[in-house]
Structure 1
Amino acid sequence: MAHKGDHVPTRRQFLVLSSTAALTSLLSEAPASAAADPAQPYASYWHPATILDWDPSTDRDAKYNRSTVPLARRVVPARPANSHARPGEARVQALVAYAPTSFNPAQGSLDMHYYATNYWQYIDELVFWGGSASEGLILAPNPTVTDAAHRNGVRVIGNVFLPPTAYGGQIQWVRDFVQREGDRFPVADKMIQVARHHGFDGWFLNQETAGGNAQLAADMRDFIVYLRRSGLRVIWYDAMTDTGSVSWQNALTARNQVFFEKSDEMFLNFWWSAQGLASSAALARQMGRSPYDLASGVDVESNGYNTSVGWASVFPEGKPHVTSLGFYRPEWTFKSSTGPADFYARDNRFWVGQNGDPANTTTTASWKGIAHYITELTPITSLPFVTNFNTGHGRKFAVGGTVRSTQAWNNLSLQDVLPTWRWSVTGTGTKVTPSLDWDDPYDGGTALKITGTPQSANDVRLFATSLAVTAATQFEVVHRTGTGPSRLQAVLRFGDTEEVLDLGGVSGAWRRSVFPLGGHAGSTLTEISLRVLPGAAVTALIGRIGVTNPVMTTPAAPSDVRVEQVSRTGTGTVAARLTWTRAPGTVRQYRVYKAGAERVFLGGTANDAYFVPAVPLASGETARIEVEAVSEAFDVSAPARVTLAEA
């Protein structure tokens, strides 16, 4: 029983939150055209019996469902924003449902309306939530989600949902799940194969089907051991106990410790208490485990940052954190919003707090923002680092300052690393306001916008970095302003030393400024800020910031571009499946265009297979498709070409 003051959801168990009904509401949001397009690849899902038949060589969508972005290394900033937050203690799990279980486009879609996860710096693991009895129980994450998470150093975990009988669960499915063949678990073997092919990091096991016994529990324990031997991470949900029954403990107890002992982490059900968490942490330590391998569950699906949470039970003031934190459905910030601007405002308040500044979380509100407790982490630890502030969705798509598509889109594979601090502005008096702007991107769908009339020099802290500088290293900024001087300076921090670089000039068009950093060779660049000098009103757009060791050679082009399938989607458009052979060396992404008098951007991926949802093509017309390799520094290869026409 939960105690007063602790997190108490409405009277429902995790099973209701995971129900078919909840996912049906998501299913209703699937694009009407999704099921109608025979070429569209979808994210993968199975029942325990059907996954045994999965083979990437025969699954026509398998090649479109692969993430190839490696997991980035992250570090604590040299100067964390919030002195109250405690580094190296609690971690954050986020259980997120991005889309319906079925008809979930594998590589994004032509719609800006999408939960573009932005605050990776506070998240350690993202669980790809979903599943239903009628559709599938074992879900592999979209490669787009894994690409974005890995670029930010966040592990991605697939989901297994064995539902309660009230929501269609069948105890036979659980038995099928843990069935043995000699010393093997065939379903686990397939889950290992799926994770390695798709490129994600582990599995979340949510077993809530009643009717089990002690033998089934023992089989599940052995299944976990077998699965973890592969090197994949396993997160266990607090539901099934050692007797095989489903009994939410809301704590680590003798009833569920056998599963925690064999797993990497456990997500505790929501009805926890201060006493229960304290005893859980103590038992974890007795077992030789970190208490931060336990995530105290908080259900924010219905109320987001209006949810009542017993924060002091997890994060006691002035003391070490008790456990880690697990958020169930933080995409509330998106689903409750009225549009992109509202979503970004809600998301900022959820993660940073109502002051909108991770350095200032002082408030009388009970929800102070996760930045109040959790120290941000940065994945910017190796050269080159280049960001165009691309959030992974937009109203248009620009390339090098020229708009190449006016089609709305979402594709998290193309998301850049976004500012570490959103937003931290120092200065006295009236300050400037930073924001992300979808109207005038430089490359991708978004630019950084700074507006206002500063009464003093304002420093906009942007990126925490840990970049070793060489004699060849250079810093670049692409920006533009309205009328009048930009009054912008870049401030680079090397330990206790700052270098101020004047961006200067009047710039009605995009302007690239490049500064050699060889004078700091052997030092570590730890922070990138922008300074706005006082004066009249300023409106500045920053399209790119980069720290690179330039190379004289552009990346090699991909080769052997092939059209797998073409299908007409309208009187003037077709959809197409494309594949190619990867370019040698490191490639950040591939971009696909329709060539012509005006080059049209069609989409992009880090993969070597891409579904183009809409190619402008009249009946009988032939189009020339071009695929370019883009390096981490956004150098571009020569195009590889293929001709596209209806069969």
Structure 2
Amino acid sequence: MMKLKHYLLSIITLFTLSVSSWAEINNNRPPFSLTLSQVEQWSPSSKWADKNNISRVDLQPRMLASYDEHSASLDGKVRVLIAPDGMNNFANYLNEQKKFNLYNFTHWSQIDVLNWFAGTANETVSLPSRPWVETAHKNGVKVIGTVYLSVAQYGGSVETVEKLLKKDNQGRFIFADKLITLAQYYGFDGWLINPETNLTLVKNAEGEVIKGKFEYENAARLGKKMQDFMLYLTKNAPSEMEIHWYDSMLLDGSVRWQNQLNEKNIPYFQQENQRFSDAMFINYWWNEDMINASNHLVKQVNRSPYDLYFGADLSPNRNAQRMFEQSNWLYMLFPGSGTKGLSSIALFGNDINYSFGGNEHTKAYSQFKKDKTDYRRFYQAERKLFAGLDGNLDKKDPDGQWPGIGQFVPAKTTLNTLPFRTSFNTGHGFMKAEQGELIAQEWHDISQQDILPTWQFAIIGDDALDIFYDFEQAFSGGNSLALRADKLIQLTTIPLYKTAFVLDNDAQLSVTFKNNATTSSLWIWLDTTENVRIKYPLISDNKQWETLSIDLSQYKGKVIDSIGLMIHGQTGSFSSNIGLVEIR
């Protein structure tokens, strides 16, 4: 049985909203940013702790997601880490902010680890904020904090490293134990140790590096002690916790980026049967020979090549793996057919769709940080990072053009139990809606983000169709999912969610939608594991939100494998919004 409910409500648009907005971002203060002295004094009852930062969402199990033969052939063992540069500058908040244009991320299905990359010479330890941890966990993504030992020229010191490596009278590393306690207390998943302080350099009384003067004996002592620290930390951390090492410091205490796994940096990764870190973040200046040598060596020590995260510095301000401009590095990591990876990937500075303002050779990808109306370009840039320059995950980009991470690494999903509900809410907006009614104006809180489509976006058929998050029309949350075309659309399929939902006797599907032009060509479909497509038309022409309710009891026991949309022979311009999809 199908029922249609009408919402006779006014359309919420951008033009009804207040222009004032503000946010409170805690850049470099507790509970997110801690000095070593604060870490040493930290306890759950100390003034440096905040129970409001404790994540209450457990890490959800994931499964691989494919919608065709190509996506099914991709290497599901490859892991993708993102490290937005300076999370402390735009994500250190606990409560809903009264500002739309703060940094956001939506492609959780395409990554495995979020590194809270932050820190200063003084604030050595950076912890992730609860809203981000909860949303990451909901999507099956781990979050790791950062211990940053700053470059000597920018304030890094031997004294700071010496303090980090301090032991108690029983020979235990005090700060290693504290790091484990912090992650357990707040509910995140581990640490990146980023030791960029060159211990061989000597400073004068003003803290300036003395050119040509070096100290080797103490540097080597601390370099070896750092190795002992890593062994202790990795060994004592719970098995579900990940300890990553950044390719920088060597055993002699110097900092010399190796850009590969080799005999110089492997002491911080693996020696004989001793595991010194769970993963290594490889610096950016690598080539094909370095990848192959690393792959050979990692197997020699009986470790997985996927424990090596080859870094990709996406910033246009540098010339390593500039986003969209350089793609050869992807083909190095995925040689031949591109379906087998030689390592995992660490995407550094993927926030440049937000934080990069442009330079002499590259225009800004968006001005969203300054101009909240520029949200389309902000989201398009992130989509292109994973789907390729054409923004279509289903379409292979021409040779030499940026192909997108999603051409090489499969998506993953946590959607294996009912109920399921999504309004495609990204966790911020010009306004906030509930049941199509305006309840608040400008806002941002990523913890309120729904589980977003597994594939963003795969358009199979006529790629003249545009699909995007629409922040000018929302049924629930800050946005809806928009579909637009200004000409004839041939048969087009859009897979959205990979699922494993078992329908029971009371199962019901609800879809809230709005057709802004007369159409009878938009359908929602549910595919079963038996290759049966259950589909229903979304027909309306009154330009208001309407809810279609469908009884699914006849499909009791069937397993819903995926959910998507279809446009079947539209004969003119096309404009629809999906405000809510629910199965319960």
TM range (shorter): 0.7 to 0.9
Question: Aligned residue for 1:305?
Answer: 324
Shift in Å, 1:462: 1.2
Residues 155-193 of structure 1: per-residue CA shift (max 9 Å, x gap)? 001011101211100111111112111142221222122
> How many Å separate the matches in 2 of 1:308 and 1:195?
35
In structure 2, the CA distance between the partners of 1:41 and 1:144, relative to structure 1 (3 Å rule), is: farther
In structure 2, the CA distance between the partners of 1:251 and 1:31, relative to structure 1 (3 Å rule), is: farther
> How many Å separate the matches in 1 of 2:286 and 2:232?
30
Question: Aligned residue for 2:344?
Answer: 324
Q: Is the 8 A contact 2:90 2:103 kept in 1?
A: no
The AA in structure 1 aligned to 2:456 is: R
Once the two structures are superposed, the pairs formed by residues 1-20 of structure 1 within 5 Å of their partners are none
Shift in Å, 1:542: 0.7
Shift in Å, 1:437: 0.3
In structure 2, the CA distance between the partners of 1:273 and 1:35, relative to structure 1 (3 Å rule), is: closer
Which secondary structure does the structure 2 equivalent of 1:150 belong to? helix
Could you state the TM-score of these two structures normalised by the residue count of structure 1? 0.75
Farther off after superposition, 435-444 or 57-66:
57-66
In structure 2, the CA distance between the partners of 1:225 and 1:472, relative to structure 1 (3 Å rule), is: farther
Q: Is the 8 A contact 2:117 2:145 kept in 1?
A: yes
> How many Å separate the matches in 2 of 1:440 and 1:348?
20
Which secondary structure does the structure 2 equivalent of 1:213 belong to? helix
> How many Å separate the matches in 1 of 2:436 and 2:29?
31
In structure 2, the CA distance between the partners of 1:268 and 1:543, relative to structure 1 (3 Å rule), is: same
In structure 2, the CA distance between the partners of 1:400 and 1:276, relative to structure 1 (3 Å rule), is: same
Shift in Å, 1:454: 4.0
* Match of residue 561, structure 2, among 519, 526, 533: 526
* Match of residue 268, structure 1, among 282, 290, 297: 282
Q: Is the 8 A contact 2:389 2:401 kept in 1?
A: no
Shift in Å, 1:431: 4.2
Residues 187-243 of structure 1: per-residue CA shift (max 9 Å, x gap)? 122212211222110000001111263432333233223323231210100111223
Which secondary structure does the structure 2 equivalent of 1:463 belong to? strand
Shift in Å, 1:287: 1.0
Question: Aligned residue for 1:357?
Answer: 392
* Match of residue 508, structure 1, among 537, 543, 547: 543
> How many Å separate the matches in 1 of 2:465 and 2:185?
46
Q: Is the 8 A contact 2:475 2:579 kept in 1?
A: yes
The AA in structure 2 aligned to 1:441 is: A
Q: Report whether the alignment pairs 1:197 with 2:189.
A: no
The AA in structure 2 aligned to 1:434 is: I
Question: Aligned residue for 1:480?
Answer: 514
Which secondary structure does the structure 2 equivalent of 1:490 belong to? strand
Farther off after superposition, 500-509 or 361-370:
500-509
Question: Aligned residue for 1:577?
Answer: none
> How many Å separate the matches in 1 of 2:277 and 2:94?
29
Residues 226-265 of structure 1: per-residue CA shift (max 9 Å, x gap)? 3232312101001112233222111111121121122111
> How many Å separate the matches in 2 of 1:179 and 1:197?
22
Once the two structures are superposed, the pairs formed by residues 393-432 of structure 1 within 5 Å of their partners are 393-406=428-441, 408-428=442-462, 431-432=464-465
> How many Å separate the matches in 2 of 1:80 and 1:129?
35
Q: Report whether the alignment pairs 1:240 with 2:249.
A: yes
Q: Report whether the alignment pairs 1:230 with 2:263.
A: no
In structure 2, the CA distance between the partners of 1:31 and 1:518, relative to structure 1 (3 Å rule), is: closer
In structure 2, the CA distance between the partners of 1:365 and 1:403, relative to structure 1 (3 Å rule), is: farther
Once the two structures are superposed, the pairs formed by residues 209-228 of structure 1 within 5 Å of their partners are 209-211=197-199, 213-228=219-234
* Match of residue 154, structure 1, among 138, 141, 150: 141
Once the two structures are superposed, the pairs formed by residues 411-490 of structure 1 within 5 Å of their partners are 411-428=445-462, 431-452=464-485, 453-490=487-524
Question: Aligned residue for 1:635?
Answer: none
> How many Å separate the matches in 2 of 1:253 and 1:432?
48
Which secondary structure does the structure 1 equivalent of 2:160 belong to? helix
Q: Is the 8 A contact 1:77 1:526 kept in 2?
A: no
Q: Is the 8 A contact 2:514 2:545 kept in 1?
A: yes
* Match of residue 259, structure 1, among 268, 289, 310: 268
Q: Is the 8 A contact 2:527 2:562 kept in 1?
A: yes
Residues 577-598 of structure 1: per-residue CA shift (max 9 Å, x gap)? xxxxxxxxxxxxxxxxxxxxxx
> How many Å separate the matches in 2 of 1:392 and 1:275?
43
Number of paired residues?
513
Residues 53-94 of structure 1: per-residue CA shift (max 9 Å, x gap)? 122323376022122122122111242584496232321111
Question: Aligned residue for 1:315?
Answer: 334
Q: Report whether the alignment pairs 1:493 with 2:506.
A: no
Residues 380-409 of structure 1: per-residue CA shift (max 9 Å, x gap)? 122222111111121100112111012x22
In structure 2, the CA distance between the partners of 1:102 and 1:170, relative to structure 1 (3 Å rule), is: farther
> How many Å separate the matches in 2 of 1:139 and 1:159?
5
Name the Cα RMSD after superposition: 2.5
Once the two structures are superposed, the pairs formed by residues 605-620 of structure 1 within 5 Å of their partners are none
The AA in structure 1 aligned to 2:337 is: G
> How many Å separate the matches in 2 of 1:131 and 1:34?
15
Higher RCO, Cα 8 Å, sep 6+: 2
The AA in structure 2 aligned to 1:278 is: N
Could you state the TM-score of these two structures normalised by the residue count of structure 2? 0.82
Q: Is the 8 A contact 1:85 1:371 kept in 2?
A: no
Q: Is the 8 A contact 1:96 1:127 kept in 2?
A: yes
> How many Å separate the matches in 1 of 2:72 and 2:401?
15
Which secondary structure does the structure 2 equivalent of 1:310 belong to? helix
Residues 289-328 of structure 1: per-residue CA shift (max 9 Å, x gap)? 1101101111112342224653332111226311111111
Q: Is the 8 A contact 2:152 2:198 kept in 1?
A: yes
Shift in Å, 1:456: 2.6
Q: Is the 8 A contact 1:101 1:139 kept in 2?
A: no
The AA in structure 2 aligned to 1:170 is: S
> How many Å separate the matches in 2 of 1:53 and 1:115?
32
> How many Å separate the matches in 1 of 2:149 and 2:390?
41
The AA in structure 2 aligned to 1:547 is: I
* Match of residue 55, structure 2, among 51, 55, 67: 67
Question: Aligned residue for 1:373?
Answer: 408
Which secondary structure does the structure 2 equivalent of 1:194 belong to? helix
The AA in structure 1 aligned to 2:342 is: V
> How many Å separate the matches in 2 of 1:33 and 1:246?
36
The AA in structure 1 aligned to 2:571 is: G
- Unaligned runs of at least 5 residues, structure 1: 1-29, 549-647
In structure 2, the CA distance between the partners of 1:205 and 1:257, relative to structure 1 (3 Å rule), is: same
Q: Percent identity?
A: 28
Residues 345-366 of structure 1: per-residue CA shift (max 9 Å, x gap)? 1111111101211111231334
